[in-house]
Structure 1
């Protein structure tokens, strides 16, 4: 039952967490590559950092955006790893049973 609950919560939260995480990754990588590979200045790519850090939400919500983005990432990693470990355990038990036979 616990596996089903973790899987359900992971599946439910994934679409909500996807867009902010994707935006953060995309803007962070774009910022770095634009500066390093294309020689753009900080001022030219500043808009990417504004989006990356959630500054467009204003001072009040910027910190919440960063906090929720981080918590969302941790949640997805922890629940994903939990499901993966449970899967590995199940496979290990099945192999152990087949070797006993």
Structure 2
């Protein structure tokens, strides 16, 4: 089971990580724009942050996808970490 879980984690992390990184980078970038008084020029960054990718508008599901992604990473990473500690104690 541990090997299968590790393979699943490894396969899904890139799909999960990209939207989280987009949200992180655009959120920080827009906050910098707000602090410097340039928020109006950087509205497109806020649209990306919310999941509006011009061609595809995912605003209604993007926040849920990011939330579930964080829960997935947390749960699968924790399980893999706990199993690695158990395996080390057995050897």
TM over 0.5, shorter chain: yes
| Counterparts of residues 1-101 of structure 1 (less than 5 Å) | 2-36=1-35, 39-56=36-53, 57-58=56-57, 61-91=58-88, 93-94=89-90
Distance 1:85 1:46 in 2: 43
Larger radius of gyration: 1
Where does the alignment leave 5 or more consecutive residues of structure 2 unmatched?
none
The root-mean-square deviation of aligned C-alpha atoms, in Å, is 1.9
In the TM superposition, residue 3 of structure 1 has moved relative to its aligned partner by: 1.1
Indicate conservation of the 8 Å contact 2:33/2:39, yes or no. Answer: no
Distance 1:52 1:84 in 2: 31
Where does the alignment leave 5 or more consecutive residues of structure 1 unmatched?
none
